[in-house]
Chains A and B, each alone.
Chain A
Amino acid sequence: MARTALSGRLGDRPRWRTGEVVDRHAESATATTLVLHVPEWPGHLAGQHIDVRLTAEDGYRAHRSYSVASAPDGERVELTVQRVPGGEVSPYLVDELLTGDFVEIRGPVGGWFVWRPEQGEPVLLVAGGSGLAPLMSMIRTRDAAGSRVPFRLLYSVRDPEARLYATELRKGSPGLDTAYVYTRTAPENWPRPPGRLTAEDLVRNGWPPDFAPACYVCGPTGFVERAAAALVLLGHPPERIRTERFGPSGG
């Protein structure tokens, strides 16, 4: 990881803003997308996240971080929240926060796990479960920019019902190849037996190291460890592999 000069915007002190939920829709059996309208939103880069703050009536507060799933689009910010059973925050966001409600957010945050349309090299996105959210922002940002940079997405997910953004990915876009790895249950007649992501999946659906792709890997810790280690073994230099590991979120 060489030191990278990053744009100055991150250095501006992020402040808490109030977003209004203007739309919400189920994204899978257990995930919901919240569409927020955030007045004076400064914009974000694909891959960045925001902090969400909830305040109870007695003043108790809980904070969590969520990746922005949408491309930069004025004052509109989309988050996809995976419901963690028994969690402190995600069940509230998924079940209780309705259209017309307000939620406090701060951001955008992060300047390392980002993709900018001016990057010309091919891109490999490796997603595990809800780790797809920031990578989806990259895909959408590429589309919005009319970019022709070749993208490959390898999406590891438990079963077909758990896929996020399934319709949008089915439609696809020119120059984006999407491949699925099912870890528990695959669709009928699926050529690959269910199981965890392997180096072979990355060879079959990634880019050769000679193409010098930028690799972005996001998902639960164990998934990211395995995928990033496999990419290194396949010859991708570590400094070209950017990772974002989901900690526990305690939901």
Chain B
Amino acid sequence: MPIVSRGFHGRRPTDDRKLPPGQFETFDFPVLSAGPTPRVAQEDWELDVTTEDGARHSWDWAAFTALPMETPTVDLHCVTRWSKFGTEWQGVSLDVLLGDVETAAEFALVHAYGGYTTNLPLEDLLDGQAWIVHRYDGEDLAPEHGGPARLLVPHLYLWKSAKWVRRIELRLDDEPGFWESAGYHDYGDPWREQRYQGD
């Protein structure tokens, strides 16, 4: 039986855009990270995809930026309860990056410069659901937002969209990442409000 907060009226979103449960809309772009922002120069940046057999696929900045680009416009939902509608990105679909990779993996553990990790089912990275993005709002992605490049998986809470992405480790088994080991949900669907373990 929820209690009513006497005298509280609140603010509803003014248009028909739907917010996931427990979220509110923000118009700026907050930064939430667990530690200092890693600084990685484009010329030092590298992205690896590794498989359960030890195979490795690598792209440096030049190779990555030569791949076919997409410009997704997506809504972001952060577990700290802010949502931001209509953000515009540019980057490479994971369908492109993973297209030639041979694997029986069902899970991915994403590693970032600075040591951050996050896990997700491999199928959530495929079928036009995820990108490695290097531009935001027409500009190079700033370091505090994960530049040079970050993962973008907008249908899950934003902690899954690892900033400063360095390696995607394809695995047969699921290995919890940084926040997932700290009590946050393994999957993190904003529409089912999967914030914490057990939600």
Is A54 in contact with chain B by the CB < 8 A criterion?
yes
Given A2-B115, A3-B181, A65-B81, the answer on whether A11 and B32 have CB atoms closer than 8 Å is no
What size tier do the contact residues of chain B reach? Answer: 35 or more
Question: Judging by beta carbons under 8 Å apart, are B181 and A6 in contact?
Answer: yes
Is A23 in contact with chain B by the CB < 8 A criterion?
no
Binds B, one of A144-152, A183-191, A240-248: A240-248
What chain B residues lie within 8 Å of A243 (beta carbons)? Answer: 33-36
What chain A residues lie within 8 Å of B197 (beta carbons)? Answer: 10-11, 13
Is A208 in contact with chain B by the CB < 8 A criterion?
no
Question: Judging by beta carbons under 8 Å apart, are A109 and B183 in contact?
Answer: yes
Question: Judging by beta carbons under 8 Å apart, are A55 and B5 in contact?
Answer: yes
Question: Judging by beta carbons under 8 Å apart, are A10 and B183 in contact?
Answer: yes
Residue of B nearest to A92 (CB): B8
Selected contact of B34 from candidates A6, A88, A112, CB within 8 Å: A112
Selected contact of B24 from candidates A111, A241, A250, CB within 8 Å: A250
- A241 and B114 alpha carbons, distance in the complex (Å): 12
- A112 and B4 alpha carbons, distance in the complex (Å): 33
Is A29 in contact with chain B by the CB < 8 A criterion?
no
Within 8 A of A (CB), among B12-45: 12, 22, 24-26, 28, 30-38
Given A92-B7, A250-B82, the answer on whether A221 and B199 have CB atoms closer than 8 Å is no
Question: Judging by beta carbons under 8 Å apart, are B8 and A54 in contact?
Answer: yes
- A243 and B37 alpha carbons, distance in the complex (Å): 10
Residue of A nearest to B182 (CB): A111
What chain B residues lie within 8 Å of A53 (beta carbons)? Answer: 2
Is A63 in contact with chain B by the CB < 8 A criterion?
yes
What chain B residues lie within 8 Å of A250 (beta carbons)? Answer: 24-26, 82
Selected contact of A232 from candidates B36, B82, B182, B198, CB within 8 Å: B36
Given A55-B3, A62-B24, A247-B80, the answer on whether A238 and B182 have CB atoms closer than 8 Å is no
Is B124 in contact with chain A by the CB < 8 A criterion?
no
Is A12 in contact with chain B by the CB < 8 A criterion?
yes
Binds B, one of A74-82, A95-103, A196-204: A95-103
Selected contact of B178 from candidates A1, A65, A238, CB within 8 Å: A1
- A12 and B198 alpha carbons, distance in the complex (Å): 7
What chain B residues lie within 8 Å of A31 (beta carbons)? Answer: none
Within 8 A of B (CB), among A112-169: 112-113
Q: Chain B interface (Cβ within 8 Å of chain A)?
A: 2-12, 22, 24-26, 28, 30-38, 78, 80-82, 114-117, 144, 178-179, 181-183, 196-199
What 5 pairs across the A-B complex have the smallest Cβ distances? Answer: A10-B183, A247-B30, A13-B198, A228-B36, A1-B115
12 CB-based A-B contacts, threshold 8 Å: A1-B114, A1-B178, A11-B198, A18-B3, A60-B12, A61-B22, A88-B11, A92-B5, A104-B3, A111-B183, A247-B80, A250-B25
